Chains A and B, each alone.
Chain A
C-alpha cells in the first residue's frame, strides 16, 4: 500500500528557504506516468496547490509561487522534495505531499499526513 510521509523543520525564519522531503513507501517514484505533488493549507483556510514533479523529472508549478518554488526528486532514496525561498509569515501552513490520480495530474488520491511549518523569527 502506497504511503507518503513528509519531513522537515517545523520552524523557518522569515526570508529563509523552507525545505521539506516526502518519502514514498510501498511504491516507486519512478513509476511510469506518475506525478507527485506538494499542496499547502494555511491554518483555518483552504488548500493551495504548489507544484508537481513527473516521474521523468519535469516540474509544473503554481504560477503564483513559481518564482520561489523548486521541486526535485531523488530516485535512489525514493523521495521528492520542496524548496520555497524567501518565506514570510504568509507561508505558514500545513504542507502535504500527495500522489495524483493516474491520468489526472492535479486530482490527488493519496496524501501524506501533513507537516506544519511556521515562519517566525
Chain B
C-alpha cells in the first residue's frame, strides 16, 4: 500500500498569507497526485490533478508542484473562502488519501 503523509495537520494563517502544505508518498508516485479542498459538511472539491494541473474554475492563487515522493500545495494569497481542510491523494496505484491539513484563521 502507498501511504500518504501530510504536514502540518493544522495551519493557522491570516488573509493574504502565502500558505504551503506538504504531502509525502511512501514510494514514488510520479505525478499521480491530486489535491482536494473540503469544507465542513460538504463533499471534497478537486483542485489539482497530475500534481500541478489546475482544474477548471479553480482560482489561480492555488498551485501544485512536485513529483516522485514530495509534493506541495501553495495558496499564494489566502482568501476568506480558502479556510478549509485540504487533502492530497495518490492515484498511481488505486487511491490513498492523506490525513488532511486544516487551514484555520489566525
Contact B44 A47 (CB under 8 A): yes
Residues of chain B within 8 A of A114, CB atoms compared = 43
| Assembled-state Cα–Cα distance A109/B56 (Å) | 10
Decide if the interface of chain B is mainly helix, strand, loop or mixed: loop
Instruction: Give the distance to chain A from B88, nearest Cβ to Cβ, in Å.
Output: 10
A106 contacts the other chain (Cβ, under 8 Å)? yes
Interface centre among A39, A63, A106 (most CB of B within 10 A): A106
A55 contacts the other chain (Cβ, under 8 Å)? no
Contact A109 B96 (CB under 8 A): no
B34 contacts the other chain (Cβ, under 8 Å)? yes
Proximity string of chain A (83-121) to chain B, C-beta cutoff 8 Å, 1 when within and 0 when not? 000000000000010100100111111011110000000
Residues of chain A within 8 A of B44, CB atoms compared = 47, 96, 108, 111
A-B CB contacts (within 8 Å), total count: 54
Total chain A interface residues with beta-carbon distance under 8 A: 23
The interface-forming segment of B14-22, B71-79, B97-105 is B97-105
Given contacts A60-B94, A104-B91, A106-B94, are A46 and B46 in contact (CB under 8 A)? no
| Assembled-state Cα–Cα distance A86/B98 (Å) | 26
Decide if the interface of chain A is mainly helix, strand, loop or mixed: strand
Given contacts A46-B97, A104-B91, are A109 and B43 in contact (CB under 8 A)? no
A16 contacts the other chain (Cβ, under 8 Å)? no
A74 contacts the other chain (Cβ, under 8 Å)? no
Instruction: Give the distance to chain A from B5, nearest Cβ to Cβ, in Å.
Output: 11
Contact A62 B94 (CB under 8 A): yes
Contact B97 A47 (CB under 8 A): yes
B95 contacts the other chain (Cβ, under 8 Å)? yes
Residues of chain B within 8 A of A63, CB atoms compared = 1, 94
> Top 5 nearest A-B pairs by Cβ distance?
A106-B91, A111-B43, A49-B95, A106-B95, A47-B97
